[in-house]
Amino acid sequence: MKEVLDISLENEMDLVLAHRRSMQVGEQLGLTVATRTTFATAVSEIARTAIEYTDNGRLTIIISGKYPRYSLYARVVFDSDQTFRATDEGFFYAKKLLPDFSFSSSGNAYVIEMGLGLPRSLKLDEPKLALLKDFFEQVTPLNAYEEIKKKNNHLHRLTGEQEEEIRIRRELDEKKSEFISVASHELKTPITVVKAYTQMLKLLKDQYTDKVAGVIDKLDMQTTKLSLLAQQLMDVSKVENGSLQYDLVDVDLNEFVNETVTILSNVHSGNQINISLGEPCQIKADPLRLEQVLTNLLGNAVKYSARNSTIDIATELSENKDNVIVKVTDRGLGMSPDGIAKIFDKFYRLDEVSTSHPGLGMGLYISSKIISDHGGKIWVKSVLNEGSTFFFTVPVQAV
């Protein structure tokens, strides 16, 4: 079966197209003037009925059958609240014109097929039918109306394809998020158990040789890293499904920064970390989540800088004192302007570090969500090979 052409039936202009194109099909096939006129009249009758009651009809002209016996068919499909019968006027007339006529309905959808067998004398074969299809695909529009219609159809098809692509992408994204959520939960339990046993072993340190104690320390350190990664995966999935929750309390920002950075300085003892605190202020925040942001920024500053380099943490109030700004400055690798644009995206890592430094590109994505959920902003200024300053703000509580 070959669909030769397809016309949507929306208004009277389409009736003209339906008639003229049906005539043309007959002409291209080599039918006599009488036969093609009969076929085109029957098609017009049915198309008129469809257009009278609906604007959603569709006419398709089809060549069915196999070499050497082919038939020419027209199929009109439409939906309508109106009840139609095969005995209705237009149908009645068309039925009389063509030898094959079928009418079927299911709910509000109607399908009418009508046609005639094509004489062998036309000497049709598959290559000829392929040429016929090509002819109607490339044929110049009959009038401005058909030209616009063709363009519209093309646009519709493109929009449809784009929508389909978006739907598939969304589906894939949902599957990915679901996988991350399940995987992170599945990882959590064994990691917690390993961590607990490691802690137990640490408590019994005196009973081991120094070498074994050293191995246990390493085991503990790696388990902590693993548990951090699982936690980050879990947070990414919470960000995705909007279930990241906050326990907001009043926080003295400077005190908080001072305490957190002092603890973190012990972990990052290979770098010189300076704290410079501005005017004190109170904020409303979830301290654990805010600590997560500072840990991420400071951790990155250390990770992407040379050992022994200096890192500065500073706080200051914004010009109109309604926000506090926290800055983390390193003198490390820095970033190119192209890279900066994407670093807050999920799983994004710069090419320069992807093989040289460990990481999964989740930290800044989660941090930016935490900061925006606190009503603040996060951004970075960076110069390649000179270093970076990450900034974030949190609204100050009025006192």
Residues in touch with ligand ADP (CB under 6 A): 296, 300-301, 304, 330, 332-333, 335, 343, 348-350, 353, 359-365, 388
| Cβ pair 38, 44 in contact under 8 A | no
Of the pair 233, 343, the CB lying nearest ligand ADP is at 343
**With respect to ligand ADP, which residue has the nearer C-beta, 56 or 227?**
227
Task: Quickly count: other Cβ atoms within 10 Å of residue 23's Cβ.
Answer: 19
- Shortest Cβ 162–ligand ADP spacing (Å): 30
Q: Nearer Cβ to ligand ADP, position 90 or 363?
A: 363
Q: List the one residue out of 281, 268, 357 whose CA is nearest residue 323.
A: 281
Contact 240, 170 (CB under 8 A): no
User: Smallest distance, Å, CB 177 to ligand ADP?
Assistant: 17
End-to-end distance of the chain based on CA atoms, in angstroms? 79
- 252 pairs with which residues across the strands? 282
* Token code pair at residue 296: 């991420």
Which residue's beta carbon is nearest to the bound ligand ADP? Answer: 359
Whichever of 65 and 359 has its CB closer to ligand ADP, that residue is 359
CA distance 48 to 11: 9
Cβ closer to ligand ADP: 116 or 362? 362
**Are the beta carbons of 325 and 316 closer than 8 angstroms?**
yes
Largest CA distance in the chain: 108
Q: How far is the CB of 3 from ligand ADP (least distance, A)?
A: 52
Angle at 24 between CA 20 and CA 26, to 5 degrees: 120
**Judged by CB, which is closer to ligand ADP: 115, or 387?**
387
Question: Taking the complex as a whole, how short is the minimal distance between the CB of residue 359 and ligand ADP, in angstroms?
Answer: 2
* Residue nearer to ligand ADP on the CB measure, 118 or 362: 362
Q: Which of 48, 28, 22, 51 is nearest to 115 (CA)?
A: 22
Query: Minimum distance from CB of 172 to ligand ADP (Å)?
Result: 22
Residue 321 near residue 396 (C-beta atoms within 8 A): yes
Hunting for tokens 């049915």 — which residue is that? 46
Measured in whole angstroms, the distance separating CA 163 from the mean position of its chain's CA atoms is: 10
d(C-alpha 278, C-alpha 89), whole Å: 88
Residue 329 beta carbon to ligand ADP: minimum distance, rounded to whole angstroms: 9
Distance in Å, CB of 190 to ligand ADP, minimum: 22
For residue 78, give both structure tokens: 């439409």
* 198 SS3 class: helix
Residue 383 in 3-state DSSP? strand
Minimal distance, residue 379 CB to ligand ADP, in Å? 12
Cβ-contact 15, 51 below 8 angstroms: yes
> What's the min distance (Å) between Cβ of 106 and ligand ADP?
55
Q: Which residue, 17 or 380, is less far from ligand ADP as judged by CB?
A: 380
- CB of 24 or CB of 367, closer to ligand ADP: 367
